[in-house]
Amino acid sequence: MLKHYLTSFLEWAIGILFVMIGIVNTFWGNDTVFGIFIVLLALLFIPNSNRIIIKKLGIRIPLWSKISIAMFIIWASVGVGELFDKIEMMMNSFK
């Protein structure tokens, strides 16, 4: 039972983090399409949307695929996408 709660919490935390990364990429900088793509990929990590995918499409996403997608999101956002510069732009726009 504890494993289920821990796994669910981890999926929610990763999903919310990736949604936030997608929102930053969507509204700050010039990566609107990339940001929307990241938000859509982030939905794979949120348990409720994952259940909908399984129910409607009958597709279960294996753990190794989720790990690969997570590594891609982190690499594309931090390494290539200059996430920290976009966060700085976001913070400056609120001042």
The residue type of 2 is L
Residue 81, pLDDT > 80, answer no
Q: Residue 39: what pLDDT?
A: 94
- 4-34 burial: b if 16+ Cβ within 10 Å, else e: eeeeeeebeebbeebbebbbbbbebbebeeb
Q: Which pair of structure tokens corresponds to residue 39?
A: 């938000």
> Between the CA of residue 21 and those of 46, 52, 63, 64, what are the distances in Å?
14, 23, 21, 21
Residue 67, pLDDT > 90, answer yes
Is the overall model pTM greater than 0.85, yes or no? no
Q: Where do the domains of the chain lie?
A: 2-87
Neighbours of 94 (CB within 10 A): 5
Residue 46 to residue 69: CA distance in whole angstroms? 13
